[in-house]
Amino acid sequence: MAKIPSTRNAAAIDRFGGPSLLKPRALPMPQCGPSEILIDMHTAGVGVWDTAIRRGEWRAPGRTRFPFIPGVDGAGRVAAVGSRVTRFDVGDRVYAYEFGNSNGGFYADFVVVHQGHAGHVPASMDLRSAGAAAATALTALQGVRALASGRGKTVLVFGGSGAVGTLAVQFAKSHGARVIATASGAKAQRLVRSLGASAVFDARSKHAIVQLRALAPEGIDAVLAFAGGEQLDKCLDSLRPNGRVVYPNGVEPAPRRRKGRRVIAYDAVASPKEFTALARAIKATRLRVPVAARYPLTRAAAAHKRLEAGRIVGRIVLSI
């Protein structure tokens, strides 16, 4: 690897607020702790949680230190390792997910993370896809596992064209489930079908519930929800007794609880065990990671504006 510079390029904020506060900065290079790795970044993911963090709505424990670098996941190559690091060597391709990093987030050309929050990028995956998928693939896979629905079961992925939903459709399909998904617009619906959904409908349509009942006349066994609201609640009327509703924390409004149905909220976990499970799932599924748009690091503010405009099919990333 090349010599590590004394400063790093980043997109950072000096206070919480709108996208325009996210500006290019040159900041001191962080140092690896004993169990940490320094990643020379290739791609960082941009998610709705990043915009909430930028606004100050989601905060890690403790006081936020400014300038603050957003971003919870990304991929690149290991540039340096701490004295106790055993899982990685300099030059390894890695992807990582870490929320509340005291060294700053992933919107930078160099990032320090704990080795337990990183994994080796599978051989079949390029760094751009890995950078787009670290947080979203962990979230999708762990949600599908919580559904406990396999072969012969009917699963509804609500929000199937989003950054997490596009991956959840593929993982649920690989578990043997019949997947029905929601997506708005012809482009999004074509993509979700190509990823393995047996049927797709627009949850915003006035005919949505009629369509769902026609697609699953005997009801659905489980729902994996990546969006909330009135339309989701209407869809849940089709959930069979003892069915499950699973959603990641942060979905608002959260699905309301129903008698005889189990509602499970979860947070995605990054650990060596989970990255190993994810690598197996990526290989078995031949995972495709749809990228909606790419922005350079210097245009992180534009990426946030595009994300907040809505109707994103797949995930937005920063090329670093």
pLDDT at 63: 79
Q: How far apart are CA 117 and CA 73, in angstroms?
A: 10
Task: CATH 3.40.50.720 in the chain: give the residue spans.
Answer: 135-266
Q: How far apart are CA 183 and CA 177, in angstroms?
A: 18
pLDDT at 101: 82
**159-170 tens-digit pLDDT:** 999 999 999 999
pLDDT at 124: 95
Mean pLDDT (the chain) is 96
- Which of helix, strand or coil describes residue 215? helix
Q: If you write DSSP's letter for every residue of 146-177 in order, what string do you get?
A: HHT--TT-EEEEETTTSTTHHHHHHHHHHTT-
Question: How many residues does this entry show for the chain?
Answer: 320
| pLDDT of 62 strictly over 70 | yes
* pLDDT band at 68; cut points 50, 70, 90: very high
- Which of helix, strand or coil describes residue 298? helix
Query: How much of the chain, in percent, has pLDDT values that exceed 90?
Result: 92
Question: Options 3.30.390.50, 3.90.320.10, 3.40.50.720, 3.40.50.300; which CATH number does 135-266 get?
Answer: 3.40.50.720
Q: How far apart are CA 238 and CA 259, in angstroms?
A: 13
Domain 7-125+290-319: CATH class, spelled out: alpha beta
Mean pLDDT on 19-25: 98
Strand stretches in 23-151, DSSP E: 23-28, 36-46, 73-81, 93-97, 110-114, 118-120
Lowest mean pLDDT among 40-49, 54-63, 85-94, 231-240: 54-63
pLDDT at 187: 96
Task: CATH 3.90.180.10 in the chain: give the residue spans.
Answer: 7-125+290-319
- The contacts of residue 213 (CB under 8 Å, 6+ apart) are 238
pLDDT at 1: 61
- Which of helix, strand or coil describes residue 11? strand
More confident residue, 56 or 62: 56
* pLDDT band at 151; cut points 50, 70, 90: confident
Give the amino acid at 311: R
| pLDDT of 3 strictly over 90 | no
| pLDDT of 61 strictly over 80 | no
